[in-house]
Amino acid sequence: MLEVSRLAAGYDRFAVLSDIGFQMTEGSFLGIVGRNGVGKTTLLKTLAGLVKSSTGAINFRGQELAGLDATQRARCGISLVLDRKGIFASLSVLENLQLAQRLGSTRKERWSLDDVLSMFPRLAERIKAPGGGLSGGEQQMLAIGRALLTQPDLLLLDEPTEGLAPLIVHELVRLLQKLSNSGLTAIVVDQRLETVFDTCEDVLVMSRGEIAERSTSADLRNHPDVLEKHLGV
């Protein structure tokens, strides 16, 4: 479904990513871990078209994405949820979701508004509340629910549990597991290793803008020396 080869990217003259390469099959959840500043968010932004690659290729469902901007990549089925969430604070939960529903109206519907509200019952309870009045966890749920309504083939999640209370983190992990079981394809970046291990079968470990290791979650759990080497944990 996704094949990335020899990808390099950065900001102006500052290189962040170097020689990134990996593949994903449809219906898989891939985790990415690494220290702060190693390029995890930059990689997601490059895949989504918010950061321009300098070299390399991104082949998505047989289509080369080089030269396509973020809007065109979204129309191809790539949806990015950044840690800043970016919901519309003055719009209600329902209006935020309906806006995304319209944006995804040209794609085959896999997720309906009812599906999202069933998946995120907290949103159903706050359906008329303004987005700016939601808690951090509820805003994260709204951001993910909104992304699903654009009918993505590939969902990119950047730090979905950052800054959330442990109880909300547990709830979000449970929801991500449901999404994984639904057949959705996703890449999950999170500083909390347990979030990645509990939701993703395969994991990329990044270091200094490169992929240092690719392993399964089970193997990484059993090899703390690898985590110590690249993450210091």
pLDDT of residue 210: 95
Classify the C-alpha dihedral 41-44-46-48 as positive or negative.
negative
Residue 211 has pLDDT above 80, yes or no: yes
CB 232 within 8 A of CB 226: no
- The mean of the pLDDT values for the chain is 93
CA dist., res. 45 & res. 52, Å (int): 9
Question: What is the greatest pairwise CA distance in the chain?
Answer: 49
Question: Each residue of 100-150: pLDDT tens digit?
Answer: 988 777 788 889 999 999 999 999 999 999 999 999 999 999 999 999 999
CB 156 within 8 A of CB 47: yes
3-class DSSP assignment, residue 127: coil
pLDDT of residue 108: 84
Q: Both tokens of residue 62?
A: 């047989």
Q: Residue 227: which of 1, 33, 16 has the closest Cα?
A: 33
Mean pLDDT, residues 152-160: 96
Element (H or E) spanning 81, and its range?
Answer: strand 78-81
